[in-house]
Every structure is written in structure tokens, then in C-alpha cells.
Structure 1
Amino acid sequence: MQLRLTRTAIRDEEGKYLGSSVIAYDITEQKRLEQQLIHSEKLSAVGQLAAGIAHEVGSPLTAISSLAQLLYEKSEDDWDKDKLKIIREQIERISRIVRELVNFSKPISTSVGEVSVNKVIEEAAQIVKYDKRLKFFKFSMDLFPHLPLIKISFDQLLQVLINILLNAGDALEGREKGKISVTSRLVGEKIIVSIIDTGVGIEKENLDHIFEPFYTTKKPGKGTGLGLWVCYNIVRGFSGEIIVESEIDQGTAFHIVLPVIIKLDEKING
């Protein structure tokens, strides 16, 4: 908790000092919002930079890829072909990063509609349950049955959920009895979707950086460090937020908070 203290002197009618009063204001939420604003502004600036980098890297990369492919096809030496294959694989990895940069730098799609959050969760679960990172772990869902509809992009919310679910699968790697649970609930005028895993957890000093571009705690080659960056941008674009709680060797919880715009009773009465 963060407090701001104000102290006021108390004097009698003759101006003689009698004492003082101290008032404490809880400014924890204010400080949190200030940090969130700074973070959003930083991501916006980096997003513009990312678009420029993606454009500058994309053109020469295409030329290098084409030449590597041509040399591979013309070469008859196995050693040369093996090394050219490695070059092509690394070019593809760079291309994938560039594509993600371009996707991030684009404005959020305007194709929004009335969406059932539970339906998006169920579809995300259907997609990821066959992924090798998740199919051997226990997966459970507890969805509040009467959630209001919200205005959002179905596909983009699906992208966010799939990304976080796959990250949860990565966090369970090497664990025999890992679990992932997904819940939805209504709290006031907000819908909260929680994705909780019993994985390795995230170090406290890393929590403030996980939404930064190219920041990843995964092993080299396992991730680009752009997935959560994109998720953050999508959710913030719909006036939501992502809250993360984590403990080492206990697990991690991602809470996606989305504002309610269209209510079920309004839909029925309309």
C-alpha cells in the first residue's frame, strides 16, 4: 500500500500551537494507474518503431531468402546444402518475427461485434487441447453461465486466450501433474477471465517486464518475446487490462479484465 500524508497544525484563538492533525490518503490505485499509463505510452512508441524496423528488414530479407533457395537448388554438395538449409531455417525465424512486428504495429481491427466471452473461451480450449504442450496435463473450465455480451473482436480475444494458454503449457514443461484452469466471472461491470497454471512461475523481478517486446523467460528458440506484448495491446485496445500474479514453483495466474458494454437484459428488452 502507498500512502500520502498531510499534516496540519492546530492552534488556539491566540495562535498558540496545540498539536497537529495527520490525514493519510491511500494512493495505491492512483500509482498503479500512473504506471499503467507510462507502460501504455512506451508500448505505443515501440509499436511505431517496430513498423519501421519490420519494413526495413523485410525487403533485404526477401532477397537473401531467394538467393539461399537458389543456391540450395543448384548445389550438389551435401555439406553446402546442409549449411544452406540452416540459413533458410534462420531466415524463416527472422521472417516470423518480422510478421509479428507488422501485425503488432497495425491498429486493432474495427470488426467488433456482440461477443459471448464464454464461447471464445470454449473455442480456444478446443483449439489448444490437441497441442503437444497441453494434451498431457489436466485442463478444467468453470465458466459463469450468465455473462453479459461485450463489444469486442472475437478473433482477437481468441488470439489472446490461445497465446496465454500455450504459455501456460510451456510453464508446465517437465512437470508430471500439471494443471491449467480457466474461469470466467462477473464482478460489477467487468468480466474477468482467469487462466491459472501450476507451472514454474515467474520471478518477481520479471513480472514488470513480461509485456515488453522481445522480453522472454523461455529457453532460446522457444519464443520471440512478442506474444504477451501483442496480447497486452489487444486487451488495452478494448479498454481492458491484464493482471498477473505468480509464485515460483507454485504457478501463474493471468486475469483478463474486460468492461461490460452490452448486457443480456438490455439485449432481451431491446
Structure 2
Amino acid sequence: MTNKMLLVSSTFLHDILNPVTGVRIILEQVMKGKYGNTLEEIKPFLEAILQTNNRVSRLVESENKSDIVSINPSAVRSLDLLQVLARLHFEYSALAKCSSLNLHLEAQTPLVHGAEVIADVICIERMLSNVIQNAIKYTETGEVYIRLVNEGDNLVVEIEDTGRGIEPKELPKIFLPYYRLHKKSRGCGLGLYVAMMVAKSHGLQIIVDSKVGKGTKFRIIFPYTDQLTYGLNDKIWRKQEGFRNECKQREIS
């Protein structure tokens, strides 16, 4: 197996096992009766588990498992980014509660050009899920915020936590594959790599601001294009194809 194949397989497996681990944590808490004993009390947690299962099933059933940076045309559609964030907020609120954290969803009203994005929905879910789960994982106490706002015409997803923060010298490394900021932490250091690869394939930017002991904010920027849309358009498709060819040339050389 080549290094590229190993990396693609590892990232795919990572994005399946991480949600499964989250489900296990929630179920253990529910079985201990920490969130009540009646169906009405535990129903929100069961619904969150079902939603996680559905998201992982979509990933497993997706056709595109051979290249992490490529977009599956059959999965490209117009989606409401706020609705996607609302689903993920509901799904991860249960996991946050298991860690005694509060997960918030906030949205600017109104958004300048709405929240419609043309994208590979499975890729976008992978990108956002990895950043949200990282924020929960590395926040010991306090809050995690998911926001949808405008910066000028651009649409921006902010994921901010009150966690331990990242040293300035470490920031350039956090998107590298297999890089783990905290060596004793769970995980294999692939979540942020997946997020960055998805962002690049969709013509997005990810900007990180962090203060040690204060927390970290990820800003995922969806530029407002000259075709008056967010997300994929002809120009980005061409760039994405060029990026794939560049990766292939590196692999050959």
C-alpha cells in the first residue's frame, strides 16, 4: 500500500471511528442514568445517536473513498449551511453535555446573501464535524460556540472554545497529517488535516486564532464569488482539478 493510499484509508477510518467513539461515550452516560430514566428524558440523546449513525452511514455509502481532496459530483448540491450547522449542533450537544460543556449555536440575522452553499454535502459535514469534535475534545470546562456570520459579503463559520489554547509556534503544524498537539491525547492527528483538505477542495479558507489558557477560534470562510454564490463554481472546479493533478505529480515524483 502506498503512502497516499494509507493516508486516504486512515482519514476515512478516522471519520468513522470518531463518531462511533462519541456514541459509545453518550450511551455509557445514558446507561448510568446520568440524564434521566424515562424515555422522555433520554430521547434527545437517542435522537442524537441516530443522527450520528445516519451521518456515518452517508459517509460509508459515499462513492468517493479513493481521494480525500476530490469532490464527488453526485454529492454536490445546494444546501442551507445554517441547517447543516443546526443538525451538527443537535448531534454534538449530547457529546458536549457528557463533558459538562455547553455547546451554543448562534447566527447573524439577517445574513447578507443568505446561507445557501453549493457543495459536496458529505465533505462539508466531515470538515465541520472534525473541527467541532476537536473543540469539544480539548475543552475541559466552559463553552463551545458555533456561529454563522458575515464578514463583508463572505459567509463565515466560527467554531470557538474556551479550551487550553495553542502555542503560536504550534499553529503552523496543526493541519499536518498525524500531527498531535497534545501527545497524550486521544486521536491520531488527522481531524484538522481532513478539515483543511475539504476546505481547499471547495475554495474555502480556514483561519485560526488562539491564546494559551484562553481558547481557540477557527474561522471557515466561504468567499462570495463573482458568480454571486457561495461554494463551488466553475472556477473552483478548475482549481480543484489542478490541485488533484499536482498531488498526483508529487506522488509520481
TM-score by length of structure 1 reads 0.56
Residues 210-240 of structure 1 deviation map (CA, whole Å, 9 limit, x = unaligned): 0001001134461111111011000111100
User: Aligned partners of 1:150, 1:106: CA distance in 2, in Å?
Assistant: 18
**Matched residue, 2:5:** 51
In our comparison, the structure showing a higher alpha carbon Rg is: 1
User: Aligned partners of 1:234, 1:126: CA distance in 2, in Å?
Assistant: 22
Partner residue of 2:128 out of 161, 174, 190? 161
Q: How does 1:235-250 map to 2 (within 5 A)?
A: 235-250=199-214
Identify if the C-alpha distance between structure 1 residues 224 and 104 changes in structure 2 by more than 3 Å, giving closer, same or farther. farther
Residue 108 (str. 1) matches residue 71 (str. 2):
yes
User: What are the ranges of 5 or more consecutive residues in structure 2 without an aligned counterpart?
Assistant: 10-59, 231-253
User: Aligned partners of 1:202, 1:109: CA distance in 2, in Å?
Assistant: 34
**Matched residue, 2:194:** 230
User: Aligned partners of 2:135, 2:179: CA distance in 1, in Å?
Assistant: 16
**Displacement of 1:186 after TM fit?**
1.9
**Displacement of 1:109 after TM fit?**
2.1
Asked if the contact 2:102–2:144 (Cα under 8 Å) also holds between the matched residues in 1, the reply is: yes
Q: How does 1:192-231 map to 2 (within 5 A)?
A: 192-220=156-184, 222-231=186-195
User: Aligned partners of 1:50, 1:162: CA distance in 2, in Å?
Assistant: 23
Asked if the contact 1:115–1:153 (Cα under 8 Å) also holds between the matched residues in 2, the reply is: no
Q: How many residues align?
A: 169
**Displacement of 1:114 after TM fit?**
1.0
3-state DSSP of counterpart to 2:166: coil
Which runs of at least 4 in structure 1 moved beyond 6 Å after TM superposition?
none
Residue 172 (str. 1) matches residue 172 (str. 2):
no
Residues 142-193 of structure 1 deviation map (CA, whole Å, 9 limit, x = unaligned): 11244241211222212212211111111113x3xx1111111122331110
Asked if the contact 1:242–1:254 (Cα under 8 Å) also holds between the matched residues in 2, the reply is: yes
**Matched residue, 1:118:** 82
Asked if the contact 2:96–2:103 (Cα under 8 Å) also holds between the matched residues in 1, the reply is: no
**Matched residue, 2:119:** 152
2:131 is aligned with what amino acid?
Answer: I
Q: Which structure is higher in strand share?
A: 1
Residue 183 (str. 1) matches residue 183 (str. 2):
no
Identify if the C-alpha distance between structure 1 residues 53 and 153 changes in structure 2 by more than 3 Å, giving closer, same or farther. closer
User: Aligned partners of 1:54, 1:112: CA distance in 2, in Å?
Assistant: 20
Residue 139 (str. 1) matches residue 106 (str. 2):
no
User: Aligned partners of 1:118, 1:53: CA distance in 2, in Å?
Assistant: 31
User: Aligned partners of 2:8, 2:223: CA distance in 1, in Å?
Assistant: 33
3-state DSSP of counterpart to 1:222: coil
User: Aligned partners of 1:196, 1:125: CA distance in 2, in Å?
Assistant: 13
User: Aligned partners of 2:67, 2:98: CA distance in 1, in Å?
Assistant: 26
Aligned sequence identity (%): 23
User: Aligned partners of 1:136, 1:241: CA distance in 2, in Å?
Assistant: 31
User: Aligned partners of 1:194, 1:52: CA distance in 2, in Å?
Assistant: 31
Identify if the C-alpha distance between structure 1 residues 155 and 217 changes in structure 2 by more than 3 Å, giving closer, same or farther. same
**Matched residue, 1:70:** none
3-state DSSP of counterpart to 2:173: coil
3-state DSSP of counterpart to 2:95: coil
Q: How does 1:67-78 map to 2 (within 5 A)?
A: none
Residue 253 (str. 1) matches residue 220 (str. 2):
no
Identify if the C-alpha distance between structure 1 residues 232 and 104 changes in structure 2 by more than 3 Å, giving closer, same or farther. farther
